[in-house]
Amino acid sequence: MTTAAPSVLTLQCPDQPGIVAAVANLIAGTGGNIANADQHTDRESSVFLQRIEIDGPIGWQAFRRGLTGLAERFGLQWALHHPGTRARVAVACSGELHCAADLLNRVELGELDAEVVGLVSDKEVAAPLAARHGVPFVLVTGGLAGGERAAQEAAFAGALDELSADLVVLARYMRILPEPITTAWTGRMINIHHSFLPAFPGARPYHRAHQRGVKLIGATAHYVTAELDAGPIIAQRVVAVTHRDEIDDLVRKGRDVERTTLADAVRLHLEHRVLVWDNRTCVFA
């Protein structure tokens, strides 16, 4: 038995008899071994989802040919991920740096298996953070009105393309992105929102939570879609607050939750543990 990291197969298709057996037989028939497997069937939408870790002396060309046949037979959508290549991650932030700094630290410590290829920001205050970690810094400036906003959005889109990122993490990047950008990065852009969605989407959620007198605040990491703060949710966490907490207390407590929630979501994505359907996620944690 090999001790190397396994390859990961993810798949989804309409639920029907024989899928699990067919995939398992294909793995065994091409010399592979199932090191770990998890699956879920969504009864409401009749969708089957599975994540399998595969090791052993498998013949990958034959395996891929077999998967092509299963795709035709079951209407299968699949992705195969081999170990050894670190994902290229672009981190974007604005003036608040706690989430970006946490991600860079975790990558540096080896907690996240990724290569940060750039820190992109609309604020120069983020430049020293990038320098401390030896990460290229890209400043994308522009106003909020008319052509200046369009120029800033074009600069942001161009920066992401130039960095050739596999994943973009919006670590408190406080700009509303236009649909062409969100569409181009569908399933490859994660945002952290400082609220337990669907409560308090949009701006100033801690202020609105304080006004509402909530007893829990939280953070939500989700894939970005054209609809603001409404993409498929990957990870959420909460922390208790009381009537004694002022807005500054909510912000302080919330920052800790934001850091851990975003790191959780990035790790789950990098490990290919998240499958999306119908604006929902199946997370094989």
Helices (H), the chain: 19-29, 60-74, 98-108, 127-132, 146-163, 179-184, 205-212, 247-270
Backbone angles phi, psi at 242, to 5 degrees: -130, 180
Amino acid at 235: A
Q: At what angle do helices 247-270 and 98-108 cross, to 10 degrees?
A: 40
- If you write DSSP's letter for every residue of 43-70 in order, what string do you get? TTTTEEEEEEEEESS--HHHHHHHHHHH
Do the Cβ atoms of 213 and 243 come closer than 8 Å? yes
Do the Cβ atoms of 137 and 130 come closer than 8 Å? yes
Active-site hit among 229, 245, 248, 264: 229
For 183, the token pair is 């569409």
229 as an active site residue: the answer is yes
Could you tell me how far CA 65 lies from the centroid of its own chain?
29
Q: How far apart are CA 31 and CA 64, in angstroms?
A: 13
Catalytic residues: 229
